[in-house]
Amino acid sequence: MPVRTTGTTPRLAEHGTPSMDSTRAFIGDVKRLVIKVGTAVVTRSDGRLALGRLGALCEQIKELNLQGFEVILVTSGAVGLGRQRLRYRKLVNSSFADLQKPQNELDGKACAAVGQSSLMALYDTLFSQLDVTSAQLLVTDHDFKSIEFRKQLSETVQSLLSLTVVPIFNENDAVSTRKAPYEDSSGIFWDNDSLAALLALELKADLLILLSDVEGLYSGPPSDPKSRLIRTYIEKHQGEITFGDKSRVGRGGMTAKVNAAFNAAKAGIPVVITSGYAPENILKVLQGEDIGTLFHRDAHLWARSRDVTAREMAVAARESSRNLQALSSEDRSKILLDIADALEANQEQIMKENEADVAAAEQAGYERSLLARLALKPGKITNLANSIRVLAKMEEPIGRVLKRTELADGLILEKTSSPLGVLLIVFESRPDALVQIASLAVRSGNGLLLKGGKEAKRSNAILHKVITDAIPDSIGGRLIGLVTSRDEIPDLLKLDDVIDLVIPRGSNRLVSQIKESTKIPVLGHSDGICHVYVDKSANMEMANRIIIDAKVDYPAACNAMVCSICLSLIFI
């Protein structure tokens, strides 16, 4: 569990500002969490209970209990469940003549009273099957006005958690004195979303998860194709989001969730809004996966000053590359030397992030070959830094005359080397590839957009930060852009007027898909085998060393020798 390492400070304190989409790894240590499940998750569209989703929720809480987390549940659904049951009873007990009369809306408080016992009976049944004990705690807005109540509440919950009991909270709508629309300036909480935020603060939770019927917070109604999922919420989003209709059930909806999440995050409690429909989303949040929308007090430090579109990212890389090309060869070499020094200076932080990536990949069951490529072995950062220093001393690659032809008297045609422009490179799980590609781009004056494998997201994030921090402000901090979501790739592949070359480093299928999806030139590859050819005139001792090194030194690398039949050529 990358966000649950005890005895350490949150990674933000260690590493500074992460990229916008890698923030889940920077939530910090989580021991106690509050989970709020909305009515739209608890019930189906016909008003009946969604037993499958509730079962999956209880199974996740069981797993969290086994892992040592302290889980507090806030649940909605009592009113909806009670309304469904009372309608049924009314239908059964009504005459045909009664049914012809206008039907009055059922009293909400009566629905809450009937539904609450049914809801808790269901939770108790599900948890009992999993050998988990739960407890019911009903509260009202008025209760929290008492300091003694708050103190007793904290003590009771602490006692339950110490016994590995799951406290289940709900607002006691049956006796609440507040009336619709419930929200007023004097209220302490207005719905179960704000109650969950209040409880997270009162009970000193480390994380609040609000489960919804959509993937997270969108810029507009989720049904609108133009709406995009907001991964990290910052305060400026308040004036930019268009909320859709209120929840089909309950009285909250996304507006209530955002208000609750914003207030909790401002008080120092990280919040994630995510879908309660996915069976393992809670576990994924705690594993650091980038799902849903994160609210965090320090989010403004992580996020860009404004959301950067694919085009803006590419244009920024192009502008920064032109500034880079205007520098002298010595100045560009100096940037590389600074990058090499920065890598060595931040070696401990880089290795910690890489170890977290490797641990997560092992837990996910990735193949050994991928784990080998993912891991940065001891001394790897030093080797990378030394390679960069060698690159800095190499011959100037820009403006070299490669060919000169005299076409006529006084008319000379010259072929000179020049930067390609902006490159989009999609590469595999090797985080050291990011360093190598970025260094070559700086030396040759090219702008970069990099998309690494998701299994190396923490390593890539810290390496990208270290490298870009070493680039002078006069060049521009967005010379090298880090694409953190696969969803951005299709938009980037449409930018044939800005991006000059795409280089996919991966499977043949990946290369083929990219070629079919863009008008940008693609430097791809087909299936192939890495051969070593040894001529009969070669020095056999040297050939032996070369072949053994090519196969044994780093067998997981994509350019490790594959064709073992070459060995027989030694004896020709």
Count of beta carbons in the 10 Å neighbourhood of residue 427: 21
Q: Is 153 helix (H, G, I), strand (E, B) or coil?
A: helix
- The one-letter code for the residue type at 387 is S
Vertex 509: Cα angle to 508 and 514 (nearest 5): 100
Per CATH, the number for 310-516 is 3.40.605.10
271-127-212-78 Cα dihedral, nearest 10 degrees: -110
**Max CA distance (Å), the chain:** 110
Dihedral of alpha carbons 486, 490, 493, 498, sign: negative
Residue 266, beta-bridge partner list: none
Each residue's pLDDT expressed in tens, for the chain with a length of 572 residues: 334 333 322 333 233 333 334 445 445 678 999 999 988 888 887 767 788 899 999 999 999 999 999 999 999 877 777 676 667 666 555 655 555 556 566 666 777 788 788 888 889 999 999 999 999 999 988 889 899 999 999 999 999 999 999 999 988 876 666 655 444 445 677 788 999 999 999 999 999 999 998 888 888 888 777 777 888 888 666 666 766 555 444 455 788 888 899 999 989 999 999 999 988 899 989 887 878 999 988 776 655 444 567 888 899 999 999 999 999 999 999 999 999 999 999 999 999 999 999 998 888 888 888 888 899 988 999 999 999 999 999 999 998 898 999 889 889 999 999 999 999 999 878 899 999 999 999 999 999 999 988 888 899 999 999 999 999 988 877 899 998 777 788 888 999 999 999 998 877 788 888 888 899 999 977 666 778 888 888 888 898 888 888 888 777 667 778 764 444 444 33
Q: Do domains 30-92+105-176+192-303 and 310-516 have the same CATH topology?
A: no
E strand segments, 214-346: 232-233, 271-275, 293-295
Is domain 30-92+105-176+192-303 classified as CATH 3.40.1160.10?
A: yes
How does DSSP assign 312-354, residue by residue?
HHHHHHHHHHHHHHTS-HHHHHHHHHHHHHHHHHTHHHHHHHH
Instruction: Give 522's DSSP letter.
Output: B
Q: What are phi and psi of 495, to 5 degrees?
A: -90, 60
Q: What are the sequence ranges of the domains in the chain?
A: 30-92+105-176+192-303, 310-516, 530-566
Write down the pLDDT at residue 474.
87
Alpha-carbon span 75 to 130, nearest angstrom:
19
Measure CA of the first residue to CA of the last residue in the chain; give whole Å. 55
Vertex 357: Cα angle to 351 and 361 (nearest 5): 140
Report yes or no: 334 and 393 within 8 Å, Cβ to Cβ: no
Write down the pLDDT at residue 386.
95
Bridge pairing between strands 447-451 and 401-408: unpaired
496-502-508-514 Cα dihedral, nearest 10 degrees: -20
Write down the pLDDT at residue 177.
63
Report yes or no: 531 and 563 within 8 Å, Cβ to Cβ: yes
Count of beta carbons in the 10 Å neighbourhood of residue 268: 12
Vertex 560: Cα angle to 558 and 564 (nearest 5): 130
Strand order in the sheet with 70-75: 133-139, 165-171, 70-75, 32-37, 207-212, 271-275, 293-295, 232-233
